[in-house]
């Protein structure tokens, strides 16, 4: 292989040798500089280092070994490969040449092909060496940058006021947590590392959260109720991203403690609601009085305006009642009055309540009641079922079917719980909103409240009721095909 344009410095005090080597190398495409004196060669090499040097041993004033030692002592020329050419052929001459720093030794008279082969070998070796060196430097640089990034991450991790944890996927086992996490959860480091979210009972929603850990979607600001070590509940917003550590993928959880913010928010909402309810009720009374005609009859237009007023006042009252209801269930001010009841009757009652709405919307309501005994608050379960049926009807087109059925679930050959499902053929719910719709004021479409008359609180109330019964509620959906809301309630347990 000919390395084009490699720059070769040839040093020989015999002009014939010099000419022979120079023309032979030039013919092969090398760039050749030739000098007859060692001192001139050193200066030339320092000013413009060549890729390789061919060096005669026997020269007057400064011999080849001395020239080589000079070049090897200088940083600018140290790495240039030097091949000796000499008529001396004893072993000690060769050893001396290698000791001085030469890479090879060719004895005169030389074969042109041999010289060329050796030059090419050493040029290739040098090129590979340079490549290795620059790759090594690049690697070192990458290591430095990575170390720097790791140090930065570690500092942010340690000092962040946000609780942060790194957990395994899919088990959710803690491998690292920061100080803020420990102070929020009340656990010591030893009590957390190596244990999983489920083992530590960090929240009623842990199972749902763990199932999301297994999907590929990142999580942003998911509301999560964290159970601290002392048993108190903290509201946190949880974000999840995946990170690679030593080739394995982990979940990086960053929390935002919003307990205090939520407390103030709840206080504010409940205060405002109480304050609004009295004047609104009185306003409703006035509107009712107007509509009875006792204060004089209204024009058609006046009646229309009055109807709009009544509709909006009713919506506001519904909203305020929902807010207060949710607030009372959440704060435990309303306890569920649980008793033995027949699920079939509750399903029938909810269907009866929703029948007229279904008829108005031309929806066929099919219910398959399941006679099974529950220990539950019947009014609250009916409230939950009617809410689900009402949503199913609201978000379906005319002529569609809404179907409610239930099935017993067995564990170890014993019926342990019951699953009630409400299925519709409506517009469906986007996958990324299947969980958030159970939060307060969360609606898939901002116009839902106005157009469908909802408050965005129904599902939050349902979830609270079901949780008070130690059950769970969730939704499955396919866009444009329909949704199914499932409720699972434990049986045979007097809780």
Q: Does 444 bind ligand ADP (CB under 6 A)?
A: yes
Q: Does 429 bind ligand ADP (CB under 6 A)?
A: yes
Name the residue nearer to ligand ADP (CB basis): 250 or 395: 395
The neighbour count for residue 281, using CB atoms within 10 Å, is 12
Longest dimension (CA), the chain: 135
**Which residues touch 102 (CB under 8 Å, ≥6 apart)?**
55, 68, 82, 83, 84
Q: How far is residue 19's CA from residue 204's CA, in Å, rounded to a whole number?
A: 91
With CA atoms as reference, report the closest residue to 390 among 312, 440, 446, 318. 318
Name the residue nearer to ligand ADP (CB basis): 341 or 429: 429
The neighbour count for residue 424, using CB atoms within 10 Å, is 27
Name the residue nearer to ligand ADP (CB basis): 34 or 477: 477
User: What value, to the nearest 5°, has the Cα angle with vertex 398 and ends 393 and 401?
Assistant: 60
The nearest distance, CB 364 to ligand ADP, in angstroms, is 15
| Residues 378-407 within binding reach of ligand ADP (CB under 6 A) | 387, 391-392, 395
Pattern 473-492, binding to ligand ADP, x per CB under 6 A? ----------x---------
Name the residue nearer to ligand ADP (CB basis): 427 or 486: 427
Q: How many residues does the chain have?
A: 495
Q: Does 424 bind ligand ADP (CB under 6 A)?
A: yes
The nearest distance, CB 344 to ligand ADP, in angstroms, is 23
Q: Is the peptide bond before 170 cis (omega within 30 degrees of 0)?
A: yes
Pairing relationship of beta strands 339-342 and 233-245 according to DSSP bridges? unpaired
Total residues at the site for ligand ADP (CB under 6 A)?
23
Name the residue nearer to ligand ADP (CB basis): 195 or 403: 403
**Structure tokens, 337:** 């009055």
Q: Does 361 bind ligand ADP (CB under 6 A)?
A: no
Name the residue nearer to ligand ADP (CB basis): 120 or 476: 476
Name the residue nearer to ligand ADP (CB basis): 30 or 395: 395
Identify which range of 64-72, 173-181, 192-200, 445-453 contacts ligand ADP by CB under 6 A. Answer: 445-453
In angstroms, what CA-CA distances link 85 with 1, 19, 59, 112, 271? 22, 14, 11, 12, 100
The nearest distance, CB 429 to ligand ADP, in angstroms, is 5
The nearest distance, CB 463 to ligand ADP, in angstroms, is 9
Burial class (CB in 10 A: 0-12, 13-18, 19+), 383: middle
| Residues 129-168 within binding reach of ligand ADP (CB under 6 A) | none
The nearest distance, CB 395 to ligand ADP, in angstroms, is 3
Instruction: Give one DSSP letter per residue of 52-118, joined into a string.
Output: EEEEES--SSS-HHHHHHHHHHSTTTTTS-EEEEES--SHHHHHHHHHHT-SEEEESSPPHHHHHHH
The nearest distance, CB 405 to ligand ADP, in angstroms, is 15
The nearest distance, CB 425 to ligand ADP, in angstroms, is 10
**Selected binder of ligand ADP within 28, 212, 427, 486 (CB under 6 A):** 427
Pattern 446-465, binding to ligand ADP, x per CB under 6 A? --xx----xxxxxxx-----
Name the residue nearer to ligand ADP (CB basis): 24 or 324: 324
With CA atoms as reference, report the closest residue to 210 among 221, 196, 220. 196
Identify which range of 129-137, 258-266, 368-376, 440-448 contacts ligand ADP by CB under 6 A. Answer: 440-448
Q: Does 347 bind ligand ADP (CB under 6 A)?
A: no
Tokens 């179907």 found at: 403
In angstroms, what CA-CA distances link 70 with 42, 43, 77? 7, 10, 9
The nearest distance, CB 468 to ligand ADP, in angstroms, is 17
Using DSSP, state whether 412 is helix, strand or coil: coil
Residues that bind ligand ADP (CB under 6 A): 387, 391-392, 395, 424, 426-427, 429, 437, 442-445, 448-449, 454-460, 483
């Amino acid at each position: 292989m000919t390395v084009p344009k490699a720059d070769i410095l040839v040093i020989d005090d015999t002009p014939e040798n010099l000419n022979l080597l120079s023309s032979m190398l030039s013919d092969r495409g090398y760039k050749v500089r030739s000098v007859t004196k060692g001192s001139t060669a050193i200066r030339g090499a320092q000013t413009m280092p060549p890729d390789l040097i061919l060096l005669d041993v026997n020269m007057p004033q400064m011999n080849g070994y001395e020239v080589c030692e000079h070049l090897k002592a200088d940083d600018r020329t140290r790495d240039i490969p030097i091949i000796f050419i000499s008529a001396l052929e004893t072993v000690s001459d060769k050893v001396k040449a290698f000791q001085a720093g030469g890479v090879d030794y060719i004895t005169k008279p030389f074969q042109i092909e041999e010289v060329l082969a050796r030059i090419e070998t050493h040029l290739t070796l040098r090129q590979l060496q340079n490549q290795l060196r620059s790759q090594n430097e690049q690697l070192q640089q990458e290591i430095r940058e990575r170390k720097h990034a790791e140090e930065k991450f570690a500092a942010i991790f340690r000092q962040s006021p946000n609780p942060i944890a790194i957990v395994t996927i899919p088990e959710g086992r803690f491998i690292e947590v920061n100080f803020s996490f420990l102070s929020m959860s009340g656990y010591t480091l030893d009590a957390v590392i190596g244990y999983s979210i489920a083992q530590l009972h960090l929240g009623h929603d842990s199972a749902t959260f763990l199932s999301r850990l297994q999907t590929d979607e990142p999580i942003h600001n998911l509301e999560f109720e964290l159970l601290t070590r002392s048993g108190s509940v903290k509201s946190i917003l949880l974000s999840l991203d995946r990170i690679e550590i030593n080739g394995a993928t982990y979940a990086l959880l960053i929390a935002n403690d919003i307990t205090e913010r939520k407390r103030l928010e709840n206080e504010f909402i409940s205060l405002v609601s109480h304050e609004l309810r009295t004047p609104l009720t009185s306003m409703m009374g006035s509107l009712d009085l107007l509509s009875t005609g006792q204060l004089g009859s209204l024009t058609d237009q006046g009646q229309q305006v009055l109807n709009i007023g009544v509709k909006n006042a009713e919506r506001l009252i519904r909203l305020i009642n929902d807010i207060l209801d949710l607030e009372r269930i959440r704060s435990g001010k309303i306890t569920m009055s649980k008793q033995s009841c027949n699920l079939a009757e509750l399903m029938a009652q909810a269907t009866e309540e929703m029948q007229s709405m279904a008829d108005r919307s031309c929806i066929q309501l099919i219910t398959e009641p399941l006679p099974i005994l529950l220990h539950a608050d019947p009014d609250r379960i009916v409230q939950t079922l009617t809410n689900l049926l009402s949503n199913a009807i609201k978000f379906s087109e005319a002529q569609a079917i809404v179907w409610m059925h239930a099935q017993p679930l067995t564990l170890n050959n014993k019926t342990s719980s019951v699953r009630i499902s409400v299925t519709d053929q409506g517009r469906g719910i986007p996958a990324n909103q299947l969980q958030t719709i159970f939060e307060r004021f969360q609606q898939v479409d901002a116009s839902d409240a106005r157009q469908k008359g909802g408050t965005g609180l129904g599902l939050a109330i349902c979830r609270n009721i079901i949780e008070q019964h130690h059950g769970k509620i969730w939704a499955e959906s396919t866009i444009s095909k329909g949704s199914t809301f499932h409720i699972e309630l434990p049986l045979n347990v007097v809780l």
